[in-house]
Amino acid sequence: MNRDKHLPLTETVYYILLALAQPAHGYLIMQKVEGLSLGQVRMAAGTLYGAIDNLVKLKWIEPAASADSRRKVYAITNKGRDMLELDFKRMNHMINVTKEIMPLD
């Protein structure tokens, strides 16, 4: 099986894509990422918007309609979901193999 050149996803990108399971604006994305990662991943606005620009270029996320014209809202695309799923499966395989070889708590 050939692995996509974008894998593995960085932890930040993984959490951004996961946070966009429901459309969200930048500040909400930052809050969701911090919550999902149990505070392990915290982003400055510049880091987030750099990542958003890159993910839009890759067509993994896209602007979404918003009732508030002051905030840009983004949503994950099918391509973004596919990449998230591929990385999830990759990590899940690593976990399962590790459990088989070296059982850990």
pLDDT for 14-39, tens place per residue?
A: 999 999 999 999 999 999 999 999 99
Average pLDDT, whole number, for the chain? 93
* pTM: predicted TM-score of the whole model, two decimal places: 0.90
Rounded to whole angstroms, the Cα distance separating 61 from 16 reads 10
**In angstroms, what CA-CA distances link 91 with 11, 45, 83?**
12, 28, 12
In three state form, how does the secondary structure of 1-60 look?
CCCCCCCCCCHHHHHHHHHCCCCEEHHHHHHHHHHHCCCCCCCCHHHHHHHHHHHHHCCC
